[in-house]
Structure 1
Amino acid sequence: MEITPAGCDHEIPEHLFMCSRLYIAAFRGYTDEVFSLLAGSSGTAVEPANSRPSPAAQEHANHHGGCSIREVTAERSTLLHIAAGEGHDELIAELCSHDSSLLSSSSSSGNTPLHCAARAGHAGAVRDIVRLARANVEEDRLRAMLRGMNATGDTALHLAARHGHGEAVEELMEVAPETALELNGGGVSPLYLAVMSRSVRAVRAILSCRDASAAGPSSQNALHAAVLQSSEMVSLLLQWKPTLATKVDSSKSTPLHFASSDGDCSIIQAILTHLPRSAINIQDNKGLSPLHIAALMGHTETVRMLLQFSPASADICDNQGQSFLHAAAMKGHSSIISYAVKNSMLKHLLNAQDKEGNTPLHLAVVVEECKVVSKLLSSGEVSLVVKLHESGAQFQPQRQDLIEKWNAQDIMKWRDNTSKNLAVVSTLIATVAFAAAFNVPGSYGHDGKANLAGDPMYNAFLILDTISMVTSVVATILLVYGRASRSHRSWPSFVISMYFLWLSINCMVFGFFTAIAAVSKKGIKIAMSQLIYHGMYILTMQLTFLAMPGSFISTMKFLVSGRMERQQHAKRHIKRQYPFIAFYTFNVIFFFIINNIAMLTFDATRALSY
């Protein structure tokens, strides 16, 4: 009698349903009990005359006192399927010695005993089944058994690889390496499944076949999966077949797209080592390059690494004409914007427009990403207008009443947070200045008056401390007013408060020096004055350099130009459309002048103290 093949709808005859005791004995690997039941020598338990037979006794009675080696479960699994699935090597050998045809029997799902052993990862059972098949089955049938597929198209190698059973995979690859080329019903290779199981041992075993398939679902290959698993598997796959790095899936994504989305720099570096320089420019069906993907996910180190590998890839635009900076701006990744601002090779992208005319700044404003807006503004929206004016750029002719003003109030939402933080700083300065008035240098005498009263440096300290406290209080009031009013006048109040706060800081620092000068020896005064002077000079020059829209000369030209008729028209158009630009530029120049006056004043104070 033949075992019913997979996919057959014939009912199982009653006498071929597996006895429960036989099933349990096979499951537990009790070889002696299995063959005792098969020989029919175990006998049936005696039941009381007036009792109803138990299900087990009734079932055993249906077998006329003996069980058959051809009995199957409801899923048409034989005793050999059960023994193989549990890895009972002795029982496997005994069953095959009694009936070798069990080796090629299939369950209703198409699984052979070899499938069961491989799925459970019993390498010894796999080895025994193959050895017994070689001894009892013809070569053609043996090959068919090793390459046999179940109902879902999985071979034994597929099942072992899917579950990450490295030792079982090694056994199967040794006897049937050609199965590494087979794809299952979903078009997936054993190698892809081994990668997904994260079994490096299984991957190594399959890679011993140079012609193994790396195919996965949706036209992916094993490297697409490996970049999200481990760098070791990535290295193994690239050494085995470097061309995997340039293959695309159904969405035209390369493994580098996948790796860029994950941001693991060690894996990206491994891929770049085996990648042609042009391959980094491959775009998916949306036009996104690996650089776009890294920017969308906010992986700054990945962006830096990709640009170092191929600086020209920065100019790649997607189907909407957007660069990787557009992508970073939309997702609010300010760290990537900061990197671009500091990189002179990327500055041309800061104001690049997509197909709808949107710059990264436009997109950041739309999604209300305040940090990105702040970075982009500091990078040079003002600088751009100044440079365009300097180079003689022409405005598009249009009715002047239809010009939409660029209002800083609309895009400086970050100012609220800044105002709050600055208010804390100004309050702290006022507190320190107030406390310093009652803890004067030189302390007090027995008459309650300051010991240094009348000293020029002491008098300078009192004046500077008073100015510091007053200006910090004014700055606090202006900052609170700006946050509360939210009117058109709140922006100038914010700028003015910044001047008062900067003045209070300078006065506090200079007051500290006069206090030191009043109570210290000449050598200490000289050392302190040098330290304060150079520290303040470096700070003010750095702030001026960062805030200056272009060079100092070009900024001055922008403010004072207007003698020629063309310059007058351009200046008038700028003031109408960008009223904030002239105000900002004036304040930068004013800041530069005020700081130089402050430094000269400090020089004079220092000379008097000597």
Structure 2
Amino acid sequence: MQTSNKNTKYMERAPAICNEAPHGLFMCSKLYIAAFEGRTDEITGLLTGSSDVTAAEGNGWPSPRARENAIHPGPCCSTREVTAERSTLLHIAAGQGHVDLIAELCLRDSALLSLVNSSLDTPLHCSARAGKADAVEAIIRLALDNVEEDRLRGFLGWKNQAGDTALHLAARHGHGATVETLMNLAPELASEVNAAGVSPLYLAVMSRSVRGIAAIVWYRDASAAGPMSQNALHAAVLQSSEMVSLLLRWRPTLATDLDSNKSSPLHFASSDGDCSIVQEVLTYAPPSTPYLQDREGLSALHAAALMGNGPAVRLLLQFYPASADIRDNNGRSFLHAAAMQGHSSIVSHVIKNRMLEHLLNEQDMQGNTALHLAVQAGEYKVVSKLLYSGKVQAHIMNNAGLTPSDLIENSTSFYSMQVRLLVKLYVYGAQFRPQRQDHIKKWAGQDIVKWRVATSKNLAIVSTLVATVAFSAAFNVPGSYGSDGKANLNGNRMYTAFLVLDTIAVTTAVMATILLVYGRASRSQRSWLSFIVSMHFLWLSLLSMMLGFFTAIAATSDKKYMRTALSRLIYSGTYILITVLTSLFMPGSLRGVLQFLLGGFSEQQRHVKRRINRQYPFIVMYSFNIILLIVISNIALAAVDTTGNLS
């Protein structure tokens, strides 16, 4: 059994205080159950041999009934019997909080107070772990009467195998009343740390025991140590402002303590974003706290910006506006951090604040502005806000000679970065670096090529299915056939519309299937064109089939309210679908896309447009097809509305 050096010292100096329970004398079942349930009279009878359970036979040995429940020899039980974990009767009684039984056992054998089980727990540890405040008080008062004064400190401060004192266990499990009892009787325990270097105060914070924290912090020399060089305040700022207030009133310097990463509690609070806690820290902490930087040079303001905690950023700037100029090890401000992570609300705050405008075009050690980092990260909203402000210079080159527009070429994502960002930067007059045009490398677009190949197969299955359904509908016409083999609804305008729409659905679906099959078989540049055209045909086929379904219902129904309801339902569903698709795939505003497609009136615009076409030839094609999709979709909406009115 391994023990700490301190425990070994205590055991050598005071064997009567810290003794291990005996081996081999296992506790009988009756004794264990009686101790667990706190039946003092039954325990007394078992120990004295007067209980009927241990009635002796004429030869002095236990009766057969007693031997069924006892492992030990002899006519009566012993106070030194132990469980499999070598816990004594007093350990069991202390863990269950049986105060009367504790007093009775100590009266019979006071040495039980100091016996430890296999985990080196004393009965005091067991009662503290279970949160039995009355039992804790009883054990300590019995120890005061039965343990010599020079050994009492060793008894109260005894540490188990994990290095925990009784106060550690009470605090770890959130037993505030037990912590109060221990602090009243043995306050010096608050200065001890366990084998992991953790104090009872830190454990009380982790268990969210405000009562326990309040009981510990009145002791001036209490330790606040936690793991990885943290203190209790590092943990408290992620819990509640009440805990933070208690700790800072007790010891304000906790706010300036740094953990193994050199992070202060304010770093933790700012990263979490609870403004009430941040304000509590700023109220009591020393003025230098917001200026502390971790190993990467990040301040609390950086931490809040990285997590997108806008209210925390504004609060920190309100208390300490000069902290906005703090730079990390890469020379980046909190605006760089926010732009890189795509937190547009923080960027908006900087744009609106006249005192922070100088940060918009600030460069880091690599020469990157916030716009550079936002483009590199593909954060479209941030790029939009920065450019829309009119305060950002989009032509600034970094140390590698690259403008924000040049950084788009490092992207492997066609839609989320390149299309939207290029259109946005073009509209706001961004420039590329000066470069020989024959040295420009055309964007490979490996991800979109793979996407096209994988998608073509799935779309071909869909288009074939649509063609099959539309073809079948032509021979299962609404209203059925007459005896002459002709449709009963001949001459009905809704039936005629159904036939036209079904024909369009079949034709476009078949054409889409042919183009998709050709595109998969062909590896030429024209396969792209066939894929895009097939997408339009398939979309038109789906819209025609949906509208054809409505005309078929309208042709066979004589209830006006049903036709009107179906018309509104189809119109609303189509409108929502088109709106969602447009918002998902539209590379910017409609005005911006049209300006990109139709612009180029100035010499600079024409130059940039040529540059984009050379490096990103798909961009113009994509933008044009999105506009075409919108046009087709709006024609479909108008057709649904018109058909509904005619019906």
How would you bin the TM-score normalised by the shorter chain?
Answer: 0.5 to 0.7
* Counterpart code for 2:507: V
- Structure 2 equivalent of residue 574 of structure 1: 612
- Structure 1 equivalent of residue 427 of structure 2: 390
Q: Distance in 1 between matches of 2:615 and 2:587?
A: 18
Instruction: Pick the aligned partner of 1:555 from 581, 593, 601.
Output: 593
5+ residue gaps, structure 2, are 1-6, 36-42, 50-55, 62-72, 81-85, 317-323, 344-373, 388-393
Distance 1:148 1:413, change over 3 A: same
Give, in angstroms, the shift of residue 79 of structure 1. 11
Give, in angstroms, the shift of residue 437 of structure 1. 0.7
Distance 1:492 1:93, change over 3 A: same
1:133-532 to 2 correspondences below 5 Å: 133-135=143-145, 145-147=155-157, 154-162=164-172, 168-194=178-204, 198=207, 204-211=211-218, 212-222=222-232, 234=240, 237-238=243-244, 240-241=246-247, 248-253=258-263, 271=277, 274=280, 285-286=295-296, 306-307=309-310, 310=313, 323=337, 344=381, 347=384, 365=412, 373=413, 377-378=415-416, 381-411=418-448, 413-415=450-452, 418-419=455-456, 422-423=459-460, 425-455=462-492, 457-482=494-519, 488-512=525-549, 514-515=551-552, 518=555
Tell whether 2:628 aligns with 1:590. yes
Contact 1:403/1:577 (<8 A) preserved: yes
Contact 1:160/1:166 (<8 A) preserved: yes
* Counterpart code for 1:127: E
Contact 2:20/2:115 (<8 A) preserved: no
Q: Distance in 1 between matches of 2:165 and 2:582?
A: 71
Deviations 1:87-129 (A, max 9, x none): 8867865786699899789999998774576467665553333
Report how many aligned residue pairs link the two structures. 546
Give, in angstroms, the shift of residue 433 of structure 1. 1.4
Distance 1:448 1:290, change over 3 A: farther
Give, in angstroms, the shift of residue 581 of structure 1. 1.4
Normalised by the length of structure 1, the TM-score is 0.64
Q: Distance in 1 between matches of 2:514 and 2:299?
A: 50
> For 1:241, what is the secondary structure of its paired residue?
helix
Distance 1:135 1:213, change over 3 A: same
Give, in angstroms, the shift of residue 549 of structure 1. 3.5
Distance 1:160 1:487, change over 3 A: farther
Q: Distance in 2 between matches of 1:22 and 1:532?
A: 83
Give, in angstroms, the shift of residue 579 of structure 1. 0.7
Deviations 1:175-214 (A, max 9, x none): 2234324334543111333455x5x6x6633432334544
More displaced stretch, 91-100 vs 211-220: 91-100
Q: Distance in 2 between matches of 1:562 and 1:17?
A: 90
Normalised by the length of structure 2, the TM-score is 0.61
Q: Distance in 2 between matches of 1:103 and 1:579?
A: 85
Contact 1:326/1:360 (<8 A) preserved: no
Distance 1:472 1:275, change over 3 A: farther
> For 2:183, what is the secondary structure of its paired residue?
helix
* Counterpart code for 1:585: S
Distance 1:23 1:169, change over 3 A: farther
Tell whether 2:9 aligns with 1:6. yes
Distance 1:412 1:269, change over 3 A: farther
> For 2:136, what is the secondary structure of its paired residue?
helix
* Counterpart code for 1:216: G
Give, in angstroms, the shift of residue 590 of structure 1. 3.2
- Structure 2 equivalent of residue 55 of structure 1: none
Q: Distance in 1 between matches of 2:299 and 2:450?
A: 32
Q: Distance in 2 between matches of 1:108 and 1:518?
A: 87
Give, in angstroms, the shift of residue 465 of structure 1. 0.8
Q: Distance in 2 between matches of 1:457 and 1:449?
A: 16
Q: Distance in 1 between matches of 2:558 and 2:105?
A: 104
Q: Distance in 1 between matches of 2:122 and 2:575?
A: 84
Deviations 1:396-445 (A, max 9, x none): 12232321222444346555565455445434432331232122233211
Q: Percent identity?
A: 53
Distance 1:142 1:446, change over 3 A: same
Give, in angstroms, the shift of residue 506 of structure 1. 3.0
1:23-38 to 2 correspondences below 5 Å: none
Q: Distance in 2 between matches of 1:282 and 1:435?
A: 74
- Structure 1 equivalent of residue 370 of structure 2: none
> For 1:208, what is the secondary structure of its paired residue?
helix
Give, in angstroms, the shift of residue 466 of structure 1. 1.1
Distance 1:441 1:209, change over 3 A: same
> For 2:182, what is the secondary structure of its paired residue?
helix
Distance 1:146 1:537, change over 3 A: closer
Q: Distance in 1 between matches of 2:599 and 2:234?
A: 59
5+ residue gaps, structure 1, are 37-41, 48-58, 61-68, 71-75, 297-302, 330-336, 366-372
Distance 1:151 1:363, change over 3 A: farther
More displaced stretch, 580-589 vs 350-359: 350-359
CA RMSD of aligned residues (A): 6.4
* Counterpart code for 2:625: N
